[in-house]
Structure 1
Amino acid sequence: MVMRQQTRRFPLPEQCDPPQSPRETLPTMYDLPSEDPEEPGLPDEFHDYQPQLLRETFQPPAYQPDRFFVATDMNLYYTLDHPLWHKRPDWFAVLGVSRLYDNHDLRMSYVLWQELTPPYLAVELLSPSTEQEDLGKTQRTSDEPPTKWTVYEQILRIPYYAVFSRHTDNVRFFELTGCQYREIDPAEERLWLPEAALGLGVWSGMYEGMERKWLRFYDDRGVWIPTRTESERQRAEQERQRAEQERQRAEQAQQQAEQERQRAERERQRAEQAQQQAGQERQRAEQAQQRAEQLAAQLRALGIEPEP
C-alpha cells in the first residue's frame, strides 16, 4: 500500500480584510506569457521524444489519470516577488492536482500561487549550453533570477530532480534531504519514487525509430511501463494468441468430434457383426434341429424309436 505524503502548499500573500481570492488579486495563467521569445530553440529531436516517453510511461497507480499533471517545456512561475520570473523544466510532474486548470481548461503555464502545489519530480536534459544552469554552477546576482537548481531546491523544494545527458547517456538523481539536494547513486541507474509508486531509470531500446538509451518509468516489479505503441502491440499480440488458441481449441474439438464419430462407427460395426454372428448361430441351430428331425424320421421308418 502506498503511503501518501502530505501535499505541500505554496504560501499566499497577506491580503486585506475581507480577503479576496487569488484570482482577483494575482496574475493568473491567462495573464502570464506561456512562451519565452528570447529562449533559443531546442537543439535536437531528443528534446521532443524523451519528454514524450516520460509522459507516456508516467502512470502512478495510486492516482487517477485526472489527479496528476505532467508538462514538457512549460513556463513555471514560482515567486510572487517577481511574478514574471519563471523556469521551463524539460519535463515535470505534479501529484494530487487536477489534470486541467480549474478543472476545465488546458494549461498554458503552471503558476504556483494559483496551483498551490509544487512539482514532485523535475527532469532536465543536459546540453552544453544548459548544463551549468541545470546543475546550479552559474553565479547570479541578487537582482537576477536564480538558477534552476536554486529554484528547484530552495524555492519550490521539489522532492526529486533528475538530469540526463544524451551525449554521455549519464543520469544523475537528486533527492531533497533537509534543505538541499543529495545526489544518490542507485544500482542499475534507477530511482524509486515512493509517493508515485513508480521508478525512473535508464532503458536501452527502440523508441520512435531510434535505438539508444532513454529515461522511462517502471513499476514496483521492476517492469518498464509500456508506451501506447507497446500497449497496442501487446494487445494485438494477445489477440493473435487468443485467436490462435481458439483455432487450436476448434481443431481439437473437431478432432474429438471425428474421434467420437469413428468410435460410434466402430460400435455400429461391432453391433452389426454381433447381430450377424447371432443370425449365423440361429441358422446353425435351426439346421442342427432339422438334421435331428430327419434322422429321427429315418429311424422311425426302420421301426426304431429314437431316444428322447
Structure 2
Amino acid sequence: MTTFQSLPPQSEPPLSPRQTLPTMYDLPDENPEEEYLPDQYHGRQPGILDDTFKPSNYSPDEIFTAADLNLYYDVRHTNWYKRPDWYAVVGVPSLYEGHDLRMSYVIWQEQVSPFVVVELLSPSTEDEDLGRTVSQRGKPPTKWQVYERILRVPYYIVFSRYTNEIQPFRLVGGHYELMTPTDDQLYLVPELGLSFGLWQGIYKGVNRIWLRWFTESGEMILTPDEEAAAAQEQAAAAIAEAAAAQQEVLAAQQEALAAQAEAAAAQEQARLASERAERLAAKLRELNIDLDDLG
C-alpha cells in the first residue's frame, strides 16, 4: 500500500509595518485636549503657500500639501505626532492611495517624508520652533528633532508674522544650516525648480507681508485669484487694443473718404475750368479772333 507523507507547513512571509501598524483611519486626527485653535492668519498664510507651490518637475497629482494636519512619524510610538502649520510632500499621490482625502499623514504608510515644513512663529512656540527646547526623557522629541533627525526634512522654514522675519534652514550633512538669500532676497530650492521669499501685497482681501513661492528665476507664481485678475486685465487690454485698432480703421476710412471727396472736387473744378475755356474759345471764334494770334 502506498503511503503519502504530509508536507511541512510553509511559513507565511513576515508582514510589513505598513500592514501591521495603524493607518490614518485608526489614528486620531485631532487632540481635544489641545488649547490651540487656528486664527485667521494661520488659515490664510498656508493658503497662499498652497496656491503658489508648483514645483516644475512634479505634476499636481504627485504633490501633497497640508496645513495643521497631524504628521505621525514614529513606528515605535504610533500616537506621537507633530502638527506643522504647513508642509509639502512630493512624489506621493495627492490623494491617499489615489482616491481619498487624507485625515492625517502617516509616515509608515506613505513611506515619503515631507520635503518642506513651515512653522509660523508665535511667542508660545518660538523656542521649540527654533530648536531651543530640550526634549524630556520619555517624552516625544521636539519639532526640531523630528524634522532634522527623524524625518530629515530637507527644508525647514520659520516665519514670524510679528516681525516679518524669515529664518529658513536647509539640511546639510544631517544638520540644519541657515540659508543665505539671493540678491533678490529669495531662497532657492533647486531640487524643485522653486524659490521662496516675502512679498507685500493683497491676498484674500488682506494687505500685508506674506511668505510665498516663486519660480527658481524669481518670477512670482500667481494664485488662482491673481491668474483670474491677470486674465481679466489681458482681456481688457485686448478689448482696448481692438477698439483702438477699430478707431484707426475708421479714421483711415474717413481720411480716404475725405481724399476721395477732395479728388472729386478737384475733378469738378477741372471740368468747370475746361468748360469755361471751351466757352471762351467759342466766343473768340465767333469774333474771328485766332487764339494763336493772341500768343
TM interval, shorter chain, is 0.7 to 0.9
Q: Is the CA contact (8 Å cut-off) linking 2:215 and 2:221 kept in structure 1?
A: yes
CA distance in structure 1 between the aligned counterparts of 2:279 and 2:185, rounded to whole angstroms: 93
Match of 1:170 in 2: 165
The alignment status of 1:192 with 2:195, answered yes or no, reads no
Alpha carbon RMSD of aligned pairs, Å?
A: 2.3
Which one has more relative contact order, counting CA pairs under 8 Å at least 6 apart? 1
Give the C-alpha shift of residue 164 in structure 1: 1.1
Q: Is the CA contact (8 Å cut-off) linking 2:18 and 2:108 kept in structure 1?
A: no
Give the C-alpha shift of residue 19 in structure 1: 5.3
Q: Deviations over 1:259-292 (max 9, x none)?
A: 1111111111222222223333333343344443
CA distance in structure 1 between the aligned counterparts of 2:120 and 2:185, rounded to whole angstroms: 16
Match of 2:77 in 1: 82
Match of 2:117 in 1: 122
CA distance in structure 2 between the aligned counterparts of 1:270 and 1:18, rounded to whole angstroms: 105
CA distance in structure 1 between the aligned counterparts of 2:157 and 2:186, rounded to whole angstroms: 11
Q: Is the CA contact (8 Å cut-off) linking 2:29 and 2:69 kept in structure 1?
A: yes
The one-letter code sitting in structure 2 at the alignment partner of 1:203 is W
Q: Is the CA contact (8 Å cut-off) linking 2:18 and 2:109 kept in structure 1?
A: yes
The alignment status of 1:204 with 2:207, answered yes or no, reads no
Residue in structure 2 matching 1:249, options 238, 245, 248: 245
Q: Give unpaired runs (5+ residues) of structure 1.
A: 1-15, 295-308
Give the C-alpha shift of residue 189 in structure 1: 4.7
Match of 1:8 in 2: none
Match of 2:219 in 1: 223
Question: TM-score of the superposition, structure 1-length normalised?
Answer: 0.82
Q: Give unpaired runs (5+ residues) of structure 2.
A: 1-10, 291-295
Q: Deviations over 1:211-248 (max 9, x none)?
A: 33221112233233222222222222222222211111
Q: Is the CA contact (8 Å cut-off) linking 1:173 and 1:183 kept in structure 2?
A: yes
Q: Is the CA contact (8 Å cut-off) linking 2:129 and 2:143 kept in structure 1?
A: yes
- Structure 1 residues 21 and 268: alpha-carbon distance in aligned structure 2, compared to 1, 3 A threshold: farther
Q: Deviations over 1:158-189 (max 9, x none)?
A: 10001111222221111100111112242565
CA distance in structure 2 between the aligned counterparts of 1:293 and 1:86, rounded to whole angstroms: 124
Give the C-alpha shift of residue 106 in structure 1: 1.2
Q: Deviations over 1:71-100 (max 9, x none)?
A: 100111112111221111100011222211
Q: Secondary structure at the match of 2:278?
A: helix
- Structure 1 residues 281 and 22: alpha-carbon distance in aligned structure 2, compared to 1, 3 A threshold: farther
Match of 2:59 in 1: 64
Match of 1:135 in 2: 130
- 45-54 or 278-287: bigger deviation: 278-287
Match of 1:92 in 2: 87
Identity of counterpart residues, as a percentage?
44
CA distance in structure 2 between the aligned counterparts of 1:206 and 1:225, rounded to whole angstroms: 14
The alignment status of 1:259 with 2:262, answered yes or no, reads no
The one-letter code sitting in structure 2 at the alignment partner of 1:103 is G
Give the C-alpha shift of residue 63 in structure 1: 2.2
Runs of 4+ in structure 1 over 6 Å off: none
Match of 2:267 in 1: 271
Match of 1:4 in 2: none
